[in-house]
Amino acid sequence: MTDTATARRAPRAREGEEIWETTTDGLVWVPVVDSRGRQRDVSVGGKIGSRLRIATEDRELAEERLQDPTSSAFRNGMLVRIDTRAGDHADPDFDQGQEIATEELVAAFAKSGNAFQAYVGKLNELNQRRMLEMADAVDASVAQATFLKQVVDQYRPSTEGPQPSVLEMQRRGEA
């Protein structure tokens, strides 16, 4: 897909505003802090693809208040930016680097065989998990669902046998 085609389909945000889309079926709670320091919790979601419009300044203020930046819904993948200026907020330490709208991931299921596998292989873990979650809803083929499960399972630790203790992992340099 070309950047021009993506830009044509991406919703336009007003200056100083961002549009974000949920990647999960559940509600995502976003603490929004206005410029006066007042905080209110805004919920978005209930289904994959729900959208949130938020002022850039409000998002930045909300993220500054978090003790652990990785718990930010804007950085941990629960929300992805989909407006025409997506990527403006890129942070090399936390940004997933792939802000892909749900519609684009759904369209990938139309690919077959090696084309589908190549597309999924280029995605990061977050988007691979998103595709696995939506596989049933989009009526993916058995081969596609099986492939996605295998890809996502590689990120999970083995549950066979006893797990090493933290001390053992530290000795081996794994922790």
Residues 40 and 106 in one domain: no
What residues make up the domain containing 45?
3-81
Q: Look at residue 92 and tell me if it is in a domain.
A: no
At which of 19, 53, 81 does a domain end?
Answer: 81
pLDDT of residue 18: 84
**pLDDT, averaged across the chain:** 76
Per-position pLDDT tens, the chain of length 175: 333 343 345 566 677 788 888 877 788 888 777 667 777 888 888 887 888 888 888 888 777 777 776 677 887 778 877 776 555 544 444 444 566 778 888 999 999 889 999 999 988 877 888 888 888 889 999 999 999 999 988 876 655 666 677 777 778 877 6
Where does a domain end: 54, 81, 108? 81
- At 35 the pLDDT is 65
CA distance 166 to 129: 27
CB atoms within 10 A of CB 107: 13
Q: Are residues 67 and 15 in the same domain?
A: yes
Q: 173 and 105 share a domain?
A: yes
Q: Is residue 93 included in any domain, yes or no?
A: no
In a domain, 89, yes or no: no
Q: Is residue 131 part of a domain?
A: yes
Number of domains in the chain: 2
Last residue of a domain, one of 81, 109, 133: 81
The pLDDT tens digits of the residues spanning 102-142 come to: 888 899 999 988 999 999 998 887 788 888 888 888 999 99
Question: Is 143 a domain residue?
Answer: yes
